[in-house]
Structure 1
Amino acid sequence: MQFLRKKMLFIILIGIILLVVLIGYSLSDRENMSKPEKIINDTVGWVQSVVHKPVNYVTGFLYNIKEMKNMYQENQILKEKLAEYKGLIYEVQEVKEENEELRKLLDKPDSIRDYRAIDATVIARSPEKWIEQVTINRGEDAGVASNMAVITPEGMIGKVLSTSKHTATVQLLTGFDQFNRISATISRKDSKNIVGLIEEYDKETDSLIFRIIEESDKNLKKGELVVSSGMGGVFPAGLPIGEVKEVVYDQYGLTRTALVKPSADMYEINQVVVVDRGLPNPEKDDTSKKEDKE
């Protein structure tokens, strides 16, 4: 009995040693695997592929259903937005027609909001005057003249400083000083508009200075839109300039100044529109009539 026990222990010990050797051999870095390892790997890979395909198919099917649901919801939202836009287009068209009729009745075909748009592209920008000036590819041949407003879809960026035959230099709002002023206003529905002047650009606050001349409502709020008033005789009315971000008093506490953040991006400017107000000059008209009579 004792001999049999020793024999069993010896066999178990040999088995453990062989198992350890096999484990170490399988874990060692080898270029070629043994046949049993190849058979096991192939079997496991085949089972994984068989299981993976239906699982992947079901997962993809459920994902497609979710995407279709999201697309349906987005489609409904887009249809609602499209309907709103169509309604706005019809309303704007009606307002334009009514406006034209009223002008005809009043015998006033021109408006301070009317202007002719001249499309242009920025072709040069000096590193030394990056936030002060840009050069566009439209000049006197296209009807561009000094002091015409220049805008982007976001709002006003400045005015034409000088022109040549085929190009023009635009003075950006960020390059305005005390010698460049824009007649501006903040429109109010329920009270009198706030009137003032955009006088210059303050680099310290990164803001346009809106000097308030006349106001009936003292509750000037942050975020209110400042637009051109058209009363300066150069720019048409209604061109967005910027939004009020802060209101400050002077040292005596009598007058108020609004710090305005420009609506347009002054750094990324590519396509612009030069605004030709094109209103007739009464003095020239009177002169031409006198010449005709003579």
Structure 2
Amino acid sequence: MPSLFRKRRLMVVLIGFIILVALIGFSIRDRASLSTPEKFLQDTVGWMQTIIHKPISVVDHTVDNIQDMFAIYEQNKVLKARLSEYKGVIRENQRLKSDNADLRKTIDKSEALKDYSPIQATVIARSSDRWFEQMTINKGEEHGVKKDMAVMTSDGLVGKIKAAGAFHSTVQLLSGFDRSNKISSWVVREGKEEAFGLIEGYDDESGRLLLEGIKLDEELEKGDTVISSGLGGVFPSDLRIGTVEEVVNDQFGLTKTAYVEPFADLFDINHVIVVDRAAETIEPKNSSEGDDS
């Protein structure tokens, strides 16, 4: 009995194998069209593949998009960092160009001061509570700087040495001048002799220097140039100070006062020249005299 069962099972397996081979051979042969079961099976498989493919495709695209977003974010960070560096380089380049221009002008001015010994210096500090009155430079007595020496930029006079240390000095700016600080000056007029006056202060409201002691009969015009006269033995002569902007009679009506616009920007100073007076004091050009102090 068991032997008969095994034989039947073997026969079933053989018959099934033969049917399978026949079906395979039938399916792979060249035919004009598929049978209905084959069509149904093919469509079913196609629909299942479509259903499975769509979410997989969506997920795949989403992952790709997320990866692209992270890549773009990283690239954006790098570009921003490089842009920030580039802007920093531009600002630094502009600052260096400005400093270079200032230094060139200062050097050119130093070469022009043939009668004097120029000492080039850099501003290293300005007092917060006395910003408009004084500043500190990086040259002192060891470099030849002494008290009361004139200090100028390439544009014009800005002040004088108030106190000289060994390696640093304090500069009293023209904007901090009062009647205790005087500069004897000439007003240069076209076609006329120079008119004498004294720089004796600074008008805070207008931001202009006060040139006082001008004779009543002197006719000054707007734009006339004011230079140092060299009288008094402290400030050298021919240092540019400013231009006349306005002329008024003093409160007593005995002399005139001129408001002088400084050539130099007193509030934006980076490099200066300390003028060591080596030239001899010039003789007065008219009967009026004054002392630098």
Q: For this structure pair, what is the TM-score category when the shorter chain's length is used for normalisation?
A: 0.5 to 0.7
Aligned to 1:272: 272
Residue 127 of structure 1: SS of its match in structure 2?
Answer: coil
**Higher mean Cα deviation, 196-205 or 168-177?**
196-205
Aligned to 2:149: 148
Q: Distance in 2 between matches of 1:279 and 1:190?
A: 27
1:1-294 to 2 correspondences below 5 Å = 114-214=115-215, 217-218=218-219, 220-279=220-279
After TM superposition, give the deviation of residue 237 of structure 1 in Å. Answer: 0.9
Counterpart of 2:235, as a letter, is: F
Aligned to 2:92: none
Counterpart of 2:278, as a letter, is: G
After TM superposition, give the deviation of residue 240 of structure 1 in Å. Answer: 0.7
Q: Distance in 1 between matches of 2:254 and 2:172?
A: 32
After TM superposition, give the deviation of residue 140 of structure 1 in Å. Answer: 0.3
After TM superposition, give the deviation of residue 186 of structure 1 in Å. Answer: 1.0
After TM superposition, give the deviation of residue 223 of structure 1 in Å. Answer: 1.3
Residue 129 of structure 2: SS of its match in structure 1?
Answer: helix
Counting matched residue pairs gives 170
Distance verdict in 2 for CA 1:188–1:278, change over 3 Å: same
When the two chains are superposed, the root-mean-square deviation of aligned CA atoms in Å is: 2.1
After TM superposition, give the deviation of residue 205 of structure 1 in Å. Answer: 2.5
Contact 1:243 1:261 (8 Å CA) reproduced: yes
After TM superposition, give the deviation of residue 251 of structure 1 in Å. Answer: 3.0
Q: Distance in 2 between matches of 1:266 and 1:189?
A: 27
Counterpart of 1:241, as a letter, is: I
Aligned to 2:53: none
Contact 2:216 2:255 (8 Å CA) reproduced: no
Contact 2:189 2:224 (8 Å CA) reproduced: no
Distance verdict in 2 for CA 1:208–1:195, change over 3 Å: same
Structure 1, unaligned runs of 5 or more: 1-95, 97-111, 282-294
Q: Distance in 2 between matches of 1:251 and 1:161?
A: 30
Structure 1 length normalisation: TM-score?
Answer: 0.54
Q: Distance in 1 between matches of 2:280 and 2:193?
A: 29
Distance verdict in 2 for CA 1:208–1:150, change over 3 Å: same
Q: Which string of whole-angstrom CA distances, capped at 9 and with x for unpartnered residues, describes residues 27-71 of structure 1?
A: xxxxxxxxxxxxxxxxxxxxxxxxxxxxxxxxxxxxxxxxxxxxx
Counterpart of 1:205, as a letter, is: S
Q: Distance in 2 between matches of 1:163 and 1:254?
A: 38
Q: Distance in 2 between matches of 1:214 and 1:256?
A: 6
Structure 2, unaligned runs of 5 or more: 1-111, 282-293
Larger radius of gyration: 2
Distance verdict in 2 for CA 1:113–1:247, change over 3 Å: farther
Q: Which string of whole-angstrom CA distances, capped at 9 and with x for unpartnered residues, describes residues 131-160 of structure 1?
A: 110100000000000000000011000000
Aligned-residue sequence identity (percent) comes to: 50
Counterpart of 1:159, as a letter, is: K
Residue 174 of structure 1: SS of its match in structure 2?
Answer: helix
Distance verdict in 2 for CA 1:113–1:211, change over 3 Å: farther
Residue 175 of structure 2: SS of its match in structure 1?
Answer: helix
Contact 1:132 1:173 (8 Å CA) reproduced: yes
Q: Distance in 1 between matches of 2:120 and 2:236?
A: 17
Counterpart of 2:119, as a letter, is: I
Counterpart of 2:204, as a letter, is: K
Counterpart of 1:172, as a letter, is: L
Aligned to 1:40: none
Q: Distance in 2 between matches of 1:199 and 1:115?
A: 24
After TM superposition, give the deviation of residue 191 of structure 1 in Å. Answer: 2.2
Distance verdict in 2 for CA 1:279–1:252, change over 3 Å: closer
